[in-house]
Amino acid sequence: MASGARPPSNQRSESVPSKSKARNLATYERTSFIKSLSNDESFPECVVCGDRACSHYYYGVAACHGCKCFFWRSVKSGTEYKCRYNKNCDISINRRSACRYCRFQRCLIVGMQVESVRSVYNKNFTIKNQRKNIEKKVISNKSDDIIKLENISSPNYIVDNEMSEDITHQILHNVQKYDYLEQLLYLQRSIENGNNTNSTNNKIFSLKEIFLNPGLLNYFRQPKNYCVKLRAAETDELNFSGKTSLTMAIDWIYGINPWVRNISYENAIDILRTTFPSLTIFDIVFNSSKATNDKSLLCLPNGITVSKHELIAPNIWINNNIVNNILEKLLPLIVKLDITKNEFVLLKALIVFQSPLNEKNNETLEYMTNFRENIESLLYNECYNHIGNIGKTANRFASLLSLLGTISLLSRDVVDHIKIFQSFDNHQVDILFIELFGDIFGEKEVQNMQCKNDLKQYQINMPQLEIGVS
């Protein structure tokens, strides 16, 4: 039977009462189910107009059927809308159709992706063509580092900056998800490029001083160089790489969180304590997989290389056991998945937003929840852009998320090594690491010595004990 055709009269006959009753009963149950859904408050609201959203995300956001279809028609037709007023029209349930320009701009601001419409509905438009036709220009404003995204091939799809300033505060808690991925990529590039021009010494301060003034760590903000050097790394070089990785983690946490003003110092330290090992491991493995095909080497950010076939010099944060576990359990997975740069920065953001937070402020907790959901949506879209097949997208998305569990298990080895190394042997105790992780005895009193002793050596001379820190 053709779609939309009416059934023949004999099929609509009432001569079969049992079937009619069954059909009426099914209709009643279906109607009751729909009514129960309409009263269910668990459905999210459309981020464009505020109506009840569909059960699935469309083009990366929670949207109602009307806004989803409007966005699809607008992109497919390529129509350029104009606002008859001040580009500040009310996009509510009852007035969303009054101004198509403001409605479409709002769709872009909340995160609806034009590329998703093209790749799904245009059979001749492939992911490869999409990347060729869209040129992204990232402009860094020296005053406040604002990132602007310009779509050269479709100028009518650019977000109106004047309009976004007026309504963005109403959407996703001051977050423009449309260009959030670009901000993450820009942040990663800034960290990798480094900035140590304003510091000439390596004096270490307390964590509290560093969080109040991040510029104190500029000495460790050198350009990152993940490369292969076939020589044994010395202790000083390995310790410097650990401090560099810690600085990178601090900069990453500072750069991606919008709730830094609402979070307490204690919670900020907890986030750093939880995420530093995972961020460091993921950074090293991802960049090592891009720098070399040798599966026995790990490239560190300060241009040195460690191998599982060589004895690693004693240092604050890494040993042979950690290197072997990383190379055997994590590196093959990342190489097999061939993770893109976009997926890499989104997974790093998820590492931070999945960290436990002992925060009583409900607004801060809501920020973290919203950001985590937005990042997961962006990651899913990136999986589709990489695969180009809806059926395989979910598998890749699940595989990427499973990496976080493996990284978390490996990070425990790093924490254990730091505690053991801080507890024994003759060396200068590192104030930052002792504040973060303490020692195996659970003591953290060393941090109280920093002001009185001016970072003098704190030694525990126990030569009769040889703990495996190699």
Per-residue pLDDT of the chain (470 residues; tens, 9 = 90+): 444 444 444 444 344 444 444 444 444 444 444 444 444 445 678 989 888 888 778 888 888 989 989 998 888 888 888 888 888 888 888 888 889 899 998 888 888 888 777 544 444 444 444 444 444 433 333 334 333 333 323 333 455 544 444 433 333 333 344 478 888 899 999 999 887 655 555 566 788 888 778 788 888 998 999 999 888 899 999 999 999 999 999 999 888 865 445 667 777 888 899 999 999 999 999 999 999 999 999 999 999 999 999 999 999 899 999 999 999 999 999 999 999 999 999 999 999 988 776 665 677 777 778 888 889 989 998 998 888 887 889 999 999 999 999 999 999 999 999 998 888 767 777 888 888 888 777 655 444 444 333 333 333 333 333 333 33
Which one, of 154, 147, 143, 228, lies nearest residue 188 by Cα? 147
CATH class of the domain comprising 65-170: alpha beta
- State pTM to two decimals: 0.60
Tokens of 161: 């900056």
- Tell me what pLDDT residue 226 has: 93
Tokens of 398: 């699940």
> Does 180-453 match 65-170 at the fold level?
no
**Helix axes 341-353 and 362-387, enclosed angle (nearest 10):** 160
Give the 3-state secondary structure of residue 339: coil
Tens-place pLDDT, residues 358-392:
665 677 777 778 888 889 989 998 998 888 887 88
CATH class of the domain comprising 180-453: mainly alpha
Domain ranges within the chain, ordered by starting residue: 65-170, 180-453
* Contacts of 175 by beta carbon, 8 Å cutoff, 6+ apart: 258, 370, 371, 374
Give the burial class of 464: count Cβ atoms within 10 A of its Cβ; 0-12 exposed, 13-18 middle, 19 or more buried.
exposed
